[in-house]
Structure 1
Amino acid sequence: MNAKSAVQTVIAIFLVSSLLWPVVKYISNKYSGIEPVKVSLYDESYCPACRQFVKDQLGPAWRDLHDIMQVEVVAYGWAEETPLDTGYNFTCQHGPDECTGNMILECAKEHISRQGVFIKLTVCFMSEESEPLPPPFVVARKCAHKVGAKQEWPAIKRCATSLEGEQLLHEAGVKFHSLKDPEPTWVPWILINGKQNDKAEEDLKSVVCSTYQGQPPAICPSILAKEDLPSTTLSPNDLNNQSSVV
């Protein structure tokens, strides 16, 4: 083998190794018994701080770290409900559209089996910035078609206009009010592996990277290197933006 061939062989091995390493790492993590980081988000669909978190933190974190994340979204917050002969009547902190939005998200969670598609729909729905905001069903339909849930949309819409949706939203409320030690005092309320975590609201990526026990994605070192930089994100205690108990 001449020198030129040897160089070409080395370059080829390097390129193949670079391409295969992410696959090997994914398989290693998947079958090593290492659990993904569980991110539980308790929110309201029209809460300004919740929408900011979903757009600026959850969406980018899912994009970059979905291989090591498991995400649960519970859309209820400070809603109130009144039992009826059949179903429930809901009142929400940010008005009737929020109740509808919460129910749409709970129905989407029920009828979309692919977690990634559900998360993308949630991010799309809560990132809508048109002024004034279009009706919830208009936004949700657009997002369902955009993220690959067109087939599930009819079932989601039926659910969100029926007793099924009312029951799902009621169950979301039961789950929210079951949170203890500590009880929620604002939303978004974020748990990391079952424990409330203030920092996750400001820098979800770094929390996920630092919490994960397996071989981290290649992007994690650069994320963690930025931890000491000043943050311009609002503090979880900024009650001017968050939705607190009223």
Structure 2
Amino acid sequence: MASHPTLFTIFLLFIFTTLFLNPSTGSSQNVTLSLYYETLCPYCADFIVNHLVKVFDKGLISIVNLRLIPWGNAFIQPDGSFVCQHGTNECFLNAIEACTITIYPDVVRHFRFIHCVEKMSLENKMNEWANCFGMSGLGKAPVDCYTRGYGEVLEKKYAAETAKLNPPHRFVPWVVVNNQPLREDFENFVSHVCKAYRGTKMPEACKSLPRENNSLRKENHIDSVCFVDQTSNLTSSARLIYSIQIEFSCVGYTLGQADRVRSRLKVVNGGPWMISDHYLKVHSYMNFMSSIEYKINYTLVLVRIPYLNVLYYDEIFLLAIAMKPGTLIKVDLNTLNVDRGQFAGIWMEIPVVRESMD
């Protein structure tokens, strides 16, 4: 009998073949509604949870080919690594949602999961995101997809698609209807979909649109988006505020500076940064900043769980443990490969708590 990894690999190869080589486009008369987003942008989460969900109301989904592209404002470094606007957790969740979309191609199923994750984000419950697998009735295959590297492959595909947008996206959520970007009018997507539909089976959602919505009146949502470059409109002098200093907080030694936007995002959102056995704390540059006086609130630790039965060397189980005391960085590779002798290891960032001596 084939092993579980082999079955999983065969399954994913089947999915890759059917979706990438022979993508299904649904009815030729249906309207293609594409959302380019990133998982931890609060405005993307709000749009998915409170607005895009309307695509399933009053039969609208019957005329829509809904596509979700979780990449957003991320970019790929020359060394191939990803930099996401809201940090490494966003890169992780982007890949998880990409895997979910691929493994569960039925839009109702994968949207239910994504809606759950984004709702967790809005409610500041991201440490509970893994519960969405059970809440949406899905298995843990997307986590296996991520840990085996397929998530990175999918994200590169989404990165290439996002880069080819014409005109290029300026912010997320970026909504496109039949290759036409809605720009700031993205919340009015229902009207745009109904106007673009050329079929004869008009759903109730289109028939019941208020008269004012049919006018496709544009509204300004410029403050309710995550821009590609948050500093693009700043003067050169103002950009100095965003320069970065990487310091050993214990000795105040400046290791380097970066004043370019992408370098800033890489330094702030990347990591964790370590030199030898020193954990580096990254902080935005401020005039008269003293690393000696700067308070460290978080530190990186390797949590080792002794004598844990190998049956529990499971990604979701270990993620659930890690989310309780701090922020997960990664599960030790030796643990995932069941190579560790007596310990299961989890790297996480935890708050530094100092008890008062008074």
Q: Which amino acid aligns with 2:154?
A: L
**Structure 1: unaligned runs, 5 residues or longer:** 1-32
Which deviates more from structure 2 when the two are superposed, residues 75-84 or residues 117-126? 75-84
With normalisation by structure 1, the TM-score equals: 0.72
Q: Which amino acid aligns with 1:244?
A: F
After superposition, give the CA deviation of every residue in 1:185-239 in whole Å (9 maximum; x if it has no partner). 111111101111236512222222222222211232222435179x9x9734x1x
8 Å CA contact 1:62, 1:69 repeated in 2: no
Q: Which amino acid aligns with 2:134?
A: H
Name 1:27's counterpart in structure 2.
none
8 Å CA contact 1:44, 1:77 repeated in 2: yes
Distance 1:200 1:62 in 2: 20
Superposed displacement of residue 130, structure 1: 6.1
Q: Which amino acid aligns with 2:147?
A: T
Q: Which amino acid aligns with 1:242?
A: V
> The residue matched to 2:39 in structure 1 has which SS?
coil
8 Å CA contact 2:100, 2:142 repeated in 1: yes
Out of 161, 164, 167, the residue aligned to residue 178 of structure 1 is: 164
Cα 1:83–1:161 change in 2 (3 A) is farther
Out of 73, 77, 94, the residue aligned to residue 72 of structure 2 is: 77
> The residue matched to 1:191 in structure 2 has which SS?
strand
Out of 203, 226, 235, the residue aligned to residue 217 of structure 1 is: 203
Cα 1:43–1:210 change in 2 (3 A) is same
Q: Which amino acid aligns with 2:146?
A: A
After superposition, give the CA deviation of every residue in 1:111-163 in whole Å (9 maximum; x if it has no partner). 0031211122222221225653323xx41x322322332xxx32101112231
1:194 aligns with 2:179: yes
Distance 1:34 1:169 in 2: 27
Distance 2:116 2:212 in 1: 27
Name 1:203's counterpart in structure 2.
188
Alignment length, in residue pairs?
201
**Structure 2: unaligned runs, 5 residues or longer:** 1-26, 230-358
Name 2:135's counterpart in structure 1.
146
> The residue matched to 2:81 in structure 1 has which SS?
strand
> The residue matched to 1:128 in structure 2 has which SS?
helix
1:66 aligns with 2:61: yes
Q: Which amino acid aligns with 2:203?
A: P
Q: Which amino acid aligns with 1:119?
A: F
Name 2:325's counterpart in structure 1.
none
Cα 1:219–1:73 change in 2 (3 A) is closer
After superposition, give the CA deviation of every residue in 1:47-105 in whole Å (9 maximum; x if it has no partner). 12211111122112233311111111111111122365xxx422211111111111111
Which deviates more from structure 2 when the two are superposed, residues 58-67 or residues 163-172? 58-67
> The residue matched to 2:190 in structure 1 has which SS?
helix
Cα 1:57–1:200 change in 2 (3 A) is farther
8 Å CA contact 1:83, 1:89 repeated in 2: yes
Percentage identity across aligned positions? 25
Q: Which has the higher helix share?
A: 1
Moved over 6 A (4+): none
> The residue matched to 2:76 in structure 1 has which SS?
strand
Name 2:113's counterpart in structure 1.
121
User: More relative contact order in 1 or in 2 (CA 8 Å, sep 6+)?
Assistant: 1
Distance 1:143 1:41 in 2: 21
8 Å CA contact 1:41, 1:189 repeated in 2: yes
Q: Which amino acid aligns with 1:154?
A: K
Name 1:165's counterpart in structure 2.
151
8 Å CA contact 1:57, 1:205 repeated in 2: no
Out of 82, 96, 103, the residue aligned to residue 104 of structure 1 is: 96
8 Å CA contact 1:202, 1:235 repeated in 2: no
Name 1:241's counterpart in structure 2.
224
> The residue matched to 2:134 in structure 1 has which SS?
helix
Distance 1:46 1:234 in 2: 24
Distance 2:159 2:198 in 1: 32
